[in-house]
Each structure stands twice: as C-alpha cells, then as structure tokens.
A and B are shown apart, each in its own frame.
Chain A
Amino acid sequence: MGKTILKVDNLKTKYITRYNEDVYAVNNVSLEVEEGKSLGIAGESGCGKSTLALSLMGYYFAPLHYVSGDIVIDGKNISSLEPDVVRQSVLGQEIAYIPQSAMNALNPTRKIINFIEDVVLAHEPGTDKKEIRQLAESRFEMLGLPKSVLDHYPVELSGGMKQRTVIAISVFLSPKILIADEPSSALDVSSQKMVIKMLLDLMDRGLVKAMIFITHELPLLYNVTDDIMVMYAGQIVEKGTAHQTVFDPLHPYAKGLMGSIIVPEAGIRNAKLSSIPGVPPNLKNPPQGCQFAERCKYVVPECKMHEISMRSAEGDRSYRCIFGEDVLRKAYSNG
C-alpha cells in the first residue's frame, strides 16, 4: 500500500437554485487515491462527475455549496478552509484542476509565458521573471513541448498543442494531485493520444503524485487509470479496478454502461449494444431508495423502500445494490 494522497470521506455538496431548491449533486462520496495511482470516474452526462471534480478542490462558489464531509490531501484537511486560503495555498500547489474547456479559457491577448508568470507570482510573489522563464523552458522541454510555444499567443497553437500547454501550465507548481475533467474530448484521436501520453508522463516523472481522470469514454478510462469509479445521480454506484469494472461490472447501471462500449476490434460488430432506457432522476426531488430503480431491469419492490448503502464484494471492490454479487452475475448471464 502506497501513501494515501487524497482521501475523501462522505463528501456532500449541493447547488442552490434561484428558487431556493437544494440539488445534491455530490451525495456522500468517499474515495481514496494512493501515491502513483490514478482513479477514473465514469458516468453519463449530468451524473455529477464534474461537480465532484469542482467539490474536490475545496473551493466553493455560488451556486455550489459545501454541506458536509472531509477532503484530506496528504494529511491536510482542506474542506474547512476559507475560500481565500484555498486559493492561495491549495489550488495549483496541492491540487490542480483542468476543466473541460480549459483550452478555450486562455486569454487571446497574452502570450503563454505570461500565464506561467501569473501562476508563479500568485503563489510566490517576487519571483524573478528570468528565473520563471528558465523554469518554464526546462519544464516544457521535459514534456515534449517546443520552447517557442512560450512566446506564442494561444490562437497560434493547434487544439492538441493548446490542451497540452494548458496541462503544462496547470501542473507548473507540481501539485500533489491532478484532476483532469474530459481533457481530450474536444480533440481528434491522434491529439487525444498525445494528451494521454503527456498525462501518464507527468505521473511517471513524479510531477503529479496522483491523478483523477473524468470521462464518459470507457475504453479510454480502461487504458489510462488503475481504478474506475462509476457515478450515478451524485452517488458512487461501483468502485473497483479498471479490469473488474469493465469486464465484470456488478451494479446494473455499470453493466449497462459497459454494454455501450464500441471499439474497433473483432467481435464488436455482432455484439448487441445495450442501452439504458429512461432518463436519470431529477435531483431536485430524488426518489426514495435506489436512485437507479426506475431504469433498472432487475428492480424489486424492496429497492424503493430505503436507501441502499455500498456493499463490498470479493476482490476489494464495492457496489451499491441490494442484490448479492452471485445473484447479479447469474442475472447477467441469463441476459
């Protein structure tokens, strides 16, 4: 067992809408990431993947509000810190976050080197600009980005290059953990491969100690991360290693997701894709009991009676369903 870098305990955050309704987008999420490991988060649109990423930073701004739970980064609890303290000493140094459309967030009137100066000066005021430049050059070289990029404006770079530059900037202060939210979904397949290689390089070189990778592309997740967590309606419904989750999913929702994988490999053409009917529940007014019950093929009346808790299964994994693993496997093999 390696050192635990990030430990989240029963984190609960909510959005407050303008009609004063509470929407619990992250509902009692617990997770743990060890040094040198990466965790993938899968789930369909609106299941709370990105909100979880935002919540993990410990920096909340309306309409997102913190409710309860602990976020511990390398032994330091950041969930109770003031927003300004989080901004000053946690973001960028302890935890770095690459949002979905990061590459479009670069100010077109500034050069890349200016962004890096901003990052460094915000955390270590008074650093010499020449020093920053030297650091930036060596860092860019290490990550396979040409030095000339530093003097370019964002519009002069291609999409893939821009995304890699953004990643390089966000990990400039060598944070302990990197949260990448769909870093490659706007890119074509070859640029995607470069971005993924870069993320894995960052881990190998120890520039980031652990990574959380969010995407709905399961084949990608399977190849990049060590563990996969499946989210549904703000809750974790399945947690296990990448291989377990993809090849032997236990929760019916995870099973449905894995049935929608399309890869260019023999056998996929004749495979029947499974799609999950219906839509996710409205979180303003969540159903009682299992959140997935409305769409589940194997639903029984007990599912809707009381809240379902995570149960552990063989092989150090867990899932959220009232059925035992043998019952579920048998049901899946019967179709």
Chain B
Amino acid sequence: MAEETCEACLSGTNLTKIYAFGKSRTVAVDNINFSFNAGQVVSIVGESGSGKTTLAKMLLGLTSVTSGQIHFRGKLLDISTSRKRKEYWKSIQAIFQDPYSSYNIFTKIDDVLLDCIRLCGGAKLPKEEKLAMMEEACRFVNLKFAELTNKYPFELSGGQMQRLMIARVFLLKPQILLADEPTSMIDACSRATILEMLLKLRDEINMTLIFITHDIGLAYYISDEVYIMEHGKIVECGNADEVILHPKEAYTKRLINDVPKIYEPWDLSTVDYHV
C-alpha cells in the first residue's frame, strides 16, 4: 500500500500524561504508541474518561507531556517556545465539540474568516481576492457568504457554526485536523452533512483527519483506522473493518454491543445496573 511507504505524519512513542494534584496521581494517558499516516482518517474511540481528550490536547500542544515523545513528520515535536508553537499550529488545527463556545462572541463572521486568511500569509492580498477566498470557503460548506456578512456567530444555528468551523479549516489548509467530538452537540440530520464535509475536505487538501468520538458507529463510518482507548491505554487498533466487524478485545465488543443497531437485535439482557 502506498500509505505504508510514506512516512508517518504524526506518531507517538510511550506517551504518558499524569495529572497530579497534591498526593493524588491520575494517569490519564498511559504509555501509548501510535502512528497516523498522512492523508488517513483515524478515529480514537473510548468512553468518557478514557483519555481521548487528554491525548488530543497533548497532540495539539495545549497541555504538557509527562513522558514520551511526539514526532511530527519524522522530527521530534518541539513546542517549547510560543513562536515554535504558533508555527506548529499552522499545520495542525482543531474542531471542538461545542460550536457555541468555539468563537469569540465579539468577532463578526467576516473577521473570523479574514483572520484565517491573514494567518496563512494572505494579509497583503487585495480586498477582492480576500472576498473571493471567503466566498469559496463558504461555498465549500454550503453556506452563503452574502447572508453571513455582518453577522455574529451566535446568530447561526449549531450546525451552521460547525460548518463555518470547517470553512476556517478549508482556508487554513492544515496538514492535520483534529476533530474532538465535532458532531455530538448537533442532531442526526446535520451530523451526516458535517461528516460528508469533513471527508470532502480531507480529499480536497489531503490532510490527516484525527476523529475523536465515543460513538463507534461514527468512527466506523468515517475512518480508515480505529484506535480503541480504555483507561488511558490503547486496547485495540487497526483497520476499521477488522476492528469493528471482528473485534478481539472484550472492551471493543462491549462498546459495539452498547450501541443500538438496526439490522441486528440490540441485546439489553447483559445490562448490569451495578457498574
């Protein structure tokens, strides 16, 4: 396969994060190894508290790493100074769960998009060109730019805000996009739209998509590779078809069992109230 020959875009070796407070120690991410190839869609699946978001924060450089290394495009990731960190953020972007809190409420939508153009070196472009870029980005996510000018983010619906977030990523063209539960706050119908757009964006700018979710159905639909996390450890990983259709670990089986399905019966008899 072509992907295997090309180098890993983002990889981690023995990555650990311990939250310490006084004498208490919480191991949030426990000695994990992974390697995400360029252009792939990778899902990280786990229940609440399994360390998915901590892992995401480490990858984004938003929290320190207790031990272990992250390699970005073959080089050890160095984000020790704020200048280096800003440089790194040009190649990695994120979409978070709550679209309502992702925006500065005092910034108009035009400025949100203009900021992105400025960030990727388009500050000196003529006004018309900037407008054309913003229009193109909005068209990409099926929003009408003319209806958005002079509006504030809170005037949009949740689904529209999340799409605007994708429009931002479209302008920034990062190498990696990290989506942390991007669809859990919007309803099932807009969810399909967001997923299709993320995949379209992946094809358009050939980025790596890291998709974090607790819904194993979503992970199966969107990803090439799946990593299952339990209590900070990766318990199973591999090709999506393999992991979801032929799970080996009991935890993966349980996760799949817990999701309601439509072709197979949903077994409720195994529910233990006293967990």
Chain B associates with chain A:
yes
A-side residues, CB < 8 A to B, are 44-45, 144-146, 188-190, 192-194, 196-198, 200, 216-220, 222-224, 246, 256-257, 259-266, 268-269, 273-277, 279
Whether B220 and A275, one on each chain, are in contact in the complex, defined by CB atoms closer than 8 angstroms, is no
Whether B263 and A265, one on each chain, are in contact in the complex, defined by CB atoms closer than 8 angstroms, is yes
Whether A263 and B189, one on each chain, are in contact in the complex, defined by CB atoms closer than 8 angstroms, is no
Whether B157 and A279, one on each chain, are in contact in the complex, defined by CB atoms closer than 8 angstroms, is yes
Interface residues of B in 44-71 (CB under 8 A from A): 47-48
B interface, how many residues as a size bin?
35 or more
Given contacts A44-B187, A275-B192, A279-B157, contact A188 B214 (CB under 8 A): yes
Which B residue's beta carbon lies closest to that of A266?
B245
Q: Across the interface, which residues of B come within 8 angstroms of A256, CB to CB? A: 189
A275 to chain B, nearest CB (A): 4
Whether A268 and B220, one on each chain, are in contact in the complex, defined by CB atoms closer than 8 angstroms, is yes
Q: Across the interface, which residues of B come within 8 angstroms of A193, CB to CB? A: 258, 268, 271
Interface residues of B in 187-205 (CB under 8 A from A): 187-193, 195-196
Whether A188 and B271, one on each chain, are in contact in the complex, defined by CB atoms closer than 8 angstroms, is no
Q: Across the interface, which residues of B come within 8 angstroms of A265, CB to CB? A: 261-264
Q: Report how far A273 CA is from B220 CA in the complex, Å.
A: 13
Which B residue's beta carbon lies closest to that of A196?
B268
Which one of B189, B215, B221, B258 contacts A216 once the chains associate, using CB atoms below 8 Å? Answer: B189
- B254 on the A face (CB < 8 A): yes
Q: Mark B255-275, 1 if CB is under 8 A from A, else 0.
A: 110111111101010010111
Q: Report how far A268 CA is from B263 CA in the complex, Å.
A: 11
Which A residue's beta carbon lies closest to that of B261?
A263
Given contacts A188-B214, A220-B260, contact A146 B274 (CB under 8 A): yes
Additional A-B contacts beyond A223-B261, A260-B189 (18; CB < 8 A): A45-B157, A45-B187, A144-B274, A146-B274, A189-B214, A189-B255, A190-B258, A193-B258, A216-B188, A219-B217, A261-B188, A262-B220, A263-B217, A263-B262, A264-B216, A275-B196, A277-B142, A279-B157
Given contacts A196-B268, A263-B261, A263-B262, contact A273 B256 (CB under 8 A): no
B-side residues, CB < 8 A to A, are 47-48, 142, 157-158, 186-193, 195-196, 214-221, 240-241, 244-245, 254-256, 258-264, 266, 268, 271, 273-275
Whether B262 and A222, one on each chain, are in contact in the complex, defined by CB atoms closer than 8 angstroms, is yes
Q: Across the interface, which residues of B come within 8 angstroms of A268, CB to CB? A: 217, 220-221
Pairs A–B under 8 Å by Cβ, sample size 19: A45-B186, A188-B47, A189-B214, A190-B258, A193-B268, A196-B268, A198-B273, A216-B187, A216-B189, A218-B262, A223-B266, A260-B189, A260-B192, A262-B215, A262-B217, A263-B260, A264-B244, A265-B261, A266-B245
Q: Is the interface of A mostly helix, strand, loop or mixed?
A: loop
Q: Report how far A261 CA is from B195 CA in the complex, Å.
A: 12
Given contacts A268-B220, A268-B221, A273-B192, contact A219 B271 (CB under 8 A): no
Given contacts A263-B259, A265-B262, A277-B142, contact A218 B188 (CB under 8 A): yes
Which 8 A-B pairs rank lowest in CB-CB distance, beginning with the nearest?
A144-B273, A260-B192, A189-B258, A273-B192, A275-B193, A219-B260, A216-B187, A275-B192
Q: Across the interface, which residues of B come within 8 angstroms of A222, CB to CB? A: 260, 262
Given contacts A45-B187, A276-B189, A279-B157, contact A262 B221 (CB under 8 A): yes
Q: Report how far A144 CA is from B274 CA in the complex, Å.
A: 8
Q: Report how far A251 CA is from B263 CA in the complex, Å.
A: 22
Which A residue's beta carbon lies closest to that of B183?
A262
Q: Report how far A277 CA is from B157 CA in the complex, Å.
A: 14
